[in-house]
Amino acid sequence: MTTDTKAKIDIRRFDGLGHADHGWLNARHHFSFANYYDPARMGWGAIRVWNDDEIASNTGFPPHGHQDMEIITYVRDGAITHQDSLGNKGRTEAGDVQVMSAGSGVRHSEYNLEGETTRIFQIWIEPKRLGGAPSWGAKPFPRGERAGRFVVLASGYADDGDALPIRADARVMAATVLAGDTVAHSVAPGRHAYLVPARGAVMIDGERINARDGVAIAGGQTIAFTAIEDAELVLVDSE
């Protein structure tokens, strides 16, 4: 753990994350998940899971169930094909996002039907209330439209009208930042933010954050991210 003296952050290096290699799936876990357990990393605010998954071509997750969780999939490379017990089916490509509100319960599968490895961030956020009818949705978010600023991809707030809806007091955001440029994000007191560069590297108060490192950010501060090289940033701000 590295704690910056200027900003209240906890840097979680990629090489120190939980790791599971199943052959078809090579996964890194930012928080405790499945056989990886660390009592100091059970989540961050309402963020319960952040998995960095590499899924081999023509493999994937067979049908399985979820309940009472908001599940956001951010596709970094390749594409993922979703099918669920509600009758939904869709293919989400690199840079785009899908969300599933598990609600009272849903079964789904996620397959990489592409001829290349698919790489995703799978993020689970605890809902603000349990139950409710499950739902699924996906949407393209062109990387060019996030140039130099954070764009809200999924949100539990009605005023984020273009974002995919989730049932959590949280926002999932992304930005693309050219080398030398800076973007900033203010985390309100009492809230929690977690940042992972999907690619590239940034500096935070003199600390280098590489691709796929995680940064837990405490509330009550504004953090500036300066790109050392062209970077794609994914950030969740939650209760």
Q: CA dist 228 to 138, 185, 186, 209, 214, Å? A: 31, 17, 21, 9, 16
Give the per-residue pLDDT at 22.
96
Beta-bridge mates of residue 187: 221
Distance CA 209, CA 203 (A): 6
Give the per-residue pLDDT at 6.
59
Question: 232 near 198, Cβ under 8 Å?
Answer: yes
Give the per-residue pLDDT at 84.
96
Chain-centre distance for alpha carbon 58? 23
Give the per-residue pLDDT at 91.
97
Q: CA dist 25 to 61, 79, 198, Å? A: 9, 15, 18
Question: 163 near 152, Cβ under 8 Å?
Answer: yes
Residue ranges, the chain, pLDDT below 70: 1-6
Run of H or E residues at 33: none
pTM for this predicted structure: 0.94
Q: CA dist 98 to 22, 95, 166, Å? A: 24, 10, 11
Cβ count within 10 A of residue 209 = 24
